[in-house]
């Protein structure tokens, strides 16, 4: 399989928060890997901006350290790193101060695409956007990239949208969700809409239910104070899991176009049923051996914030009526895993003797680790002794099937940053989409906050609280075991 690398036009990427953790772990390594692949023009530039008093060489040392830690050794080429560093520079800027803005305006080229990447807290989005406008830096060829969290509820999301709209058009704003840049997420659309095999079956007549799981083995150590104001519902469900649900459930757009695709996702969000309290399970991980509990990590012994949440969600439209979507996400679980499971119904009549094993097909879409898909099909177990049926997976791991000469699949940020430069908003959230997601999420949070109940405790290294298992057991269904391969 030959990898095609399509160069982009020259650009200036101005990275606000350039000395932060996200810049070091994701953004700068992704830019370097695109440079190594020949996708970045030789005159493209990366301009770091932050409050730290650094010069160009000081910033380049930060970039060098980031590449040394977060780029695999096979990708670290000394000459290429030096060439990439030569394209990096730095300007000290405080979002709420005047110093540095005139210098930034002089540094940026008028004839280049300008991408402003806000790798900062959302409280700084508005002041940064206003400064860019008031100093005449923003213009029609500018793109603005903002990271989540995009608000903490509907009111704050609307306020952020309004603040950005004062300085940028909606067509210039790229609300990034790195889940949408994953190869498997895009392949979900390809599998559905480019193959006659699945789309005719993608409805309530053939699908029993859908499971969406994002589980993590890490806790909230190091970000406990932030997470305790957020929780799993705001941090994961409202954005990441919502996007996966929308791409799974949406109708086919007329064509692969940014606004047409986002129109269809918006329809899904607006069709979501309200969630009753019986269909929500919240959990907190407890201490295990030397591993602290959630309340210890959050440094808040009275915390009622959830580190785990599971929901049963319905969609009121023709395609999905009576098909439940089960969502779950949590910290300190048994396995790092992100996947979507499409569980098909069993055959209406079986000509074979049943042995208690479900023979229903399932399509599993793995986002991480080992991006890929597998389709569970029923076959005869080899050997004599009658017609014994077993379920086996038809597996396609993308790294094995598509990776050229064993090369790594590009990180989601690599794809998304290049899409920003190209002006392609397909994999980014639109303002009304964000607001609709919060409009659905807010009542769920408000309801449990009004009750004041505590999340259920669960042991670290498990699949979450027992109540989450009961959420499906009462419907005669079961979660896909996190230990299954």
User: Which class for 196: exposed (0-12), middle (13-18), buried (19 or more C-beta within 10 A)?
Assistant: exposed
**Phi/psi at 105 (5° precision):** -60, -40
240 is catalytic: yes
User: Is residue 145 within 8 Å of residue 118, measured between CB atoms?
Assistant: yes
Name residue, tokens 């591993």.
291
CA 476 to chain CA centroid, Å, is 30
Distance (Å, rounded) from C-alpha 408 to C-alpha 3?
Answer: 11
Helix (H) or strand (E) holding 131, with range, is helix 125-134
C-alpha to C-alpha distances, 157 to 126, 244, 271, 306, nearest whole angstrom: 12, 20, 20, 21
265 is written with which tokens?
């996702």
* Cβ count near 106 (within 10 Å): 8
Write the Ramachandran bin of 116: left for phi over 0, alpha for psi from -120 to 50, otherwise beta. Answer: beta
Q: What angle do CA 472, 473, 477 make, to 5 degrees?
A: 65
The SS3 of residue 92 is: strand
Whole-angstrom Cα distance, residue 403 to residue 410? 10
Of the candidates 78, 81, 20, 8, the residue with the CA atom closest to the CA atom of residue 49? 20
- What token pair was written down for 223? 């970000």
Q: How far is CA 122 from the centre of its chain?
A: 17
Q: Which of 209, 240, 349, 473 is catalytic?
A: 240
- Helices 56-70, 78-86: crossing angle, 10 deg rounding: 140
Q: How far apart are CA 440 and CA 444, in angstroms?
A: 8
List, by residue number, the catalytic residues: 240
């Amino acid at each position: 399989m030959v990898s095609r690398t399509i160069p982009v036009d020259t650009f200036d990427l101005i990275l606000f928060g350039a000395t932060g953790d996200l810049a070091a772990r994701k953004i700068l390594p992704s830019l370097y890997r695109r440079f190594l692949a020949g996708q970045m023009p030789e005159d493209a530039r990366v301009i770091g901006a932050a409050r730290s008093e650094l010069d160009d060489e000081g910033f380049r040392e930060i970039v060098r350290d980031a590449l040394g830690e977060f780029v695999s050794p096979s990708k670290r080429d000394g000459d290429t790193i030096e060439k990439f560093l030569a394209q990096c520079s730095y300007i000290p800027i405080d979002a709420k101060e005047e110093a540095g803005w005139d210098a930034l305006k002089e540094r940026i080229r008028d004839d280049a695409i300008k991408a402003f990447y806000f790798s900062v807290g959302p409280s700084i989005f508005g002041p940064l956007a206003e400064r860019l406008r008031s100093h005449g830096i923003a213009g029609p060829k500018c793109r603005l990239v903002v990271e989540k969290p995009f608000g903490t509820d509907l009111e704050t999301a609307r306020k952020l949208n309004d603040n950005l709209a004062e300085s940028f058009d909606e067509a210039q704003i790229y609300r990034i969700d790195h889940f949408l840049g994953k190869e498997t997420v895009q392949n979900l659309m390809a599998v559905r809409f480019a193959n006659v095999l699945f789309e005719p079956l993608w409805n309530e007549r053939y699908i029993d239910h859908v499971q969406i799981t994002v589980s993590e083995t890490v806790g909230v150590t190091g970000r406990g104070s932030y997470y305790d104001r957020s929780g799993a519902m705001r941090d994961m469900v409202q954005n990441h899991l919502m996007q996966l649900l929308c791409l799974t459930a949406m109708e086919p757009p007329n064509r692969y176009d940014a606004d047409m695709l986002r129109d269809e996702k918006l329809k899904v969000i607006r069709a979501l049923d309200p969630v009753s309290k019986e269909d929500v399970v919240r959990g907190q991980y407890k201490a295990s051996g030397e591993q602290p509990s959630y309340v210890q990590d959050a440094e808040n012994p009275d915390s009622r914030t959830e580190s785990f949440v599971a929901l049963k969600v319905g969609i009121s439209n023709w395609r999905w009526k009576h098909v439940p979507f089960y969502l779950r996400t949590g910290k300190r679980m048994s396995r790092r895993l992100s996947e979507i499971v499409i569980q098909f119904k069993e055959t209406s009549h079986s000509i074979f003797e049943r042995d208690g094993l479900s023979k229903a097909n399932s399509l599993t879409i793995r986002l991480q680790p080992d991006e890929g898909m597998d389709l569970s099909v029923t076959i005869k177990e080899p050997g004599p002794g009658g017609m014994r049926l077993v379920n086996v997976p038809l597996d396609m791991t993308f790294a094995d099937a598509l990776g050229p000469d064993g090369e790594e699949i590009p990180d989601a940020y690599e794809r998304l940053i290049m899409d920003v430069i190209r002006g392609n908003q397909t994999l980014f959230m639109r303002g009304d989409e964000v607001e609709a997601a919060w409009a659905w999420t807010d009542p769920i949070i408000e309801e449990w906050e009004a009750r004041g109940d505590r999340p259920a405790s669960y042991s670290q290294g498990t699949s979450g609280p027992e109540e989450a298992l009961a959420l499906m057991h009462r419907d005669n269904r079961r979660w896909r075991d996190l230990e299954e391969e």
